[in-house]
Copies of this chain bind each other. A is one copy, B any other.
Amino acid sequence: MPAPKMLTFDVFGTVVDWYSSIKAEGEALGESKGITGVDWGKFASSWRRRYGPSMEPIRTGERGWIKLDVLHRENLLATLEEFGVDLDEPSTEHFNRAWHRLTPWPDSPPGLARLKSKFIIATLSNGHIELIVNMAKNGNLPWDVVLGAEPTQSYKPHPTTYLRSAEIMGLTPGECMMVAAHPGDLEAAAGLGFQTAYVHRPNEFGPGRTVEAPKPNTFDYQTNSMEELATALGC
């Protein structure tokens, strides 16, 4: 297997810790607004659970492509209703943009810096350009380029998201390696010819929902952090 030229990264859960970040933003919001009785960890999980289904009408073509801020907001309004929380408009907008401020897993900034020295490092996320760039500025994530949903006008795991991302960079799928904490994302990429690296994030979904690692040799690489991946790839 020849070395890849570009590593394409899933972001939510793989590079950043959405659960802890959204929970902490919810708790801070609750405190400042005097909202009581809400388990913000459960709130974060519920908000996130609506994410996959909300992209489905776009994947099927039933709904035109729109950026993730819009879907996040629709899902936030539904989650606020579920938890009986009444939030003013500025707070709703601020909370919705918490996804622009997600905190990286501690190994992500140093690991990505090492990987960047040898490879093009790209996001191949369902996050739109503005969200990914704001998150990168906030969390010191040194991306070379934002690919994925917005540049390809599609949502993973639609084949277009992967194939057009490679094509934009003038690369074949085999010259790219998908990096993700989610087997489904890696399987979709592998099916199109991408190399694959699994990064284990056992606590992505918060306490009590520990993720089990796939069986060995399911993917080309299997590591526990971006630092380990950098070492495995000779950086």
Contacts and interface: CB of A to CB of B under 8 A. Distances in A.
B144 A133 contact: yes
Nearest to A69: B170
Interface stretch (A19-27, A145-153, A184-192, A218-226): A145-153
Give chain A's interface residue range (CB within 8 Å of chain B). 10 to 19
A129 B145 contact: yes
A120 interface: yes
Contacts of A136: 144
Interface string A169-185: 11000000000000000
A130 interface: yes
Contact of A137 (B130, B144, B168, B170): B144
Nearest to A136: B144
Nearest to A168: B129
Interface string A126-157: 00011001001100001011100011000000
Contacts of A150: 168
B120 A133 contact: yes
Contacts of A120: 133, 137
Contacts of A168: 129-130, 150
A170 B137 CA distance: 15
B144 A129 contact: no
A214 B145 CA distance: 34
A133 B123 CA distance: 13
Given A129-B145, A133-B144, 14 more contacts: A120-B133, A120-B137, A129-B168, A129-B169, A130-B168, A130-B169, A130-B170, A133-B145, A133-B169, A137-B144, A142-B142, A145-B146, A150-B168, A151-B151
Return the 3 tightest CB-CB contacts between A and B, nearest first. Answer: A130-B170, A133-B145, A130-B169
